Amino acid sequence: MTTLAGVLLHSCCVQDLAPRAYLITPLHSNAITLSWAFFNGDIDYNGGLPISEATGTYSVPTFSYYHSLNFFGRSANVLATLPYGVGTFSGTLGVGHDLYRSGLADSVFRFSVNLKGGPAMPVNKFVKWKQKVLLGASLKVVAPTGQYNPTELVNWGANRWSFKPEFGYSQKWGKWVLDGYAGVWFFTANQDFWSRNIYFPGTRSQSQNPIGAWEGHLSYDFKRGLWASLDGNFWLGGRASVDGVPNPLTQQANSRIGATVAVPIVKHQSLKLSVSDGAYTRFGGDYRNVSVAWQYSWLGRPN
């Protein structure tokens, strides 16, 4: 990203740490998740923009809906997520600026299908099934539905589409589960990037190279529904260009580490707590993150 807006929004996607993302569930499983994530830290532009001392403190409440289905005999699922961002940001662009932003962020949609080890199963067969090796694939799509004003540097929306095809691996040994994912982010161009203002009176276009993203998790089951994991990721690429002129200083090579705990509350309900921090940041947001999510799940075919 070459804008603070891009760093803010895409940090929520590229910096994902999602253990058990290829978990198999019974047919017609449903879940509603309400989550709240808090981010605080620096934004390192590595000389790629004339902005210094950039920081952000913001939270992202999110509503998500999950549904599992049969896809040619394989277990599959769809996930839709609607985030809302609110927070304050500061930085120096000639003079110091302090900004407050509140609005919808870009919505996220994901389709995932199992390729090996997880056939589509009704609940009576699922309770007898034991996980061994799972291989899966998914496609995540970020739609430009968030708040965006091209005259402003700070926006919750990125004014473009993003796509992430990904392959996933999961293997279980007793109570231990190892997950690994590999994917690539692709981006359409933002045709109205930081334009029509005192800095750039015309209209400019921003494009970005793909970003390779890798993610790993090692988790342990204490009992049914209660587990904990150690999480880490790394992403590389994303050099940005404005009106066809590339900026090599915007090349990203970043990673995060964290931990997650899932706790059952009562039937159909659970909590998930996670923390993470930047392990290495070459360009972009170096945030400390704390998040909590409440989930209500049930079985049933939609009417």
Q: Which residue has the higher pLDDT, 166 or 53?
A: 166
Q: Is the pLDDT of residue 220 over 90?
A: yes
Name the average pLDDT for the chain: 90
Report the distance separating Cα 237 and Cα 250, nearest Å. Answer: 9
190 vs 237: CA distance, rounded Å: 18
Q: Tell me, what amino acid is at 155?
A: N
Percent of the chain with pLDDT over 70: 90
Q: Is the dihedral of CA 192, 185, 50, 278 positive or negative?
A: positive
Residue pLDDT, tens place only, 239-283: 999 999 998 988 999 999 999 999 999 999 999 999 999 898 888
The mean per-residue pLDDT over the stretch 122-130 comes to 94
Q: Does residue 5 have a pLDDT over 50?
A: no
Cα radius of gyration (the chain): 20
* pLDDT digits 0-9 by tens, 25-73: 999 999 999 999 999 988 877 666 666 678 889 999 999 999 999 999 9
- Average of per-residue pLDDT across 102-107: 95
Which amino acid type is present at position 138?
Answer: S
| 3-state secondary structure labels for all residues of 203-244 | CCCEEECCEEEEEEEEEEEEECCEEEEEEEEEEEECCEEECC
Q: Is the pLDDT of residue 302 over 70?
A: no
Q: What is the CA angle 158-21-117, rounded to 5?
A: 140
Residues near 87 by beta carbon (within 8 Å), at least 6 away in sequence: 39, 56, 57, 58, 59, 100, 101, 102
Coil, helix or strand at residue 159: coil
Which residue bears the tokens 């939609």? 302
Task: Give this prediction's pTM.
Answer: 0.91
pLDDT at residue 42, as a whole number: 85
Residue 299 tokens read as 């079985």
Q: What is the pLDDT of residue 175?
A: 96
The residue-averaged pLDDT of 106-134 equals 96
pLDDT at 13: 58
In the DSSP assignment, the letter for residue 8 is: H
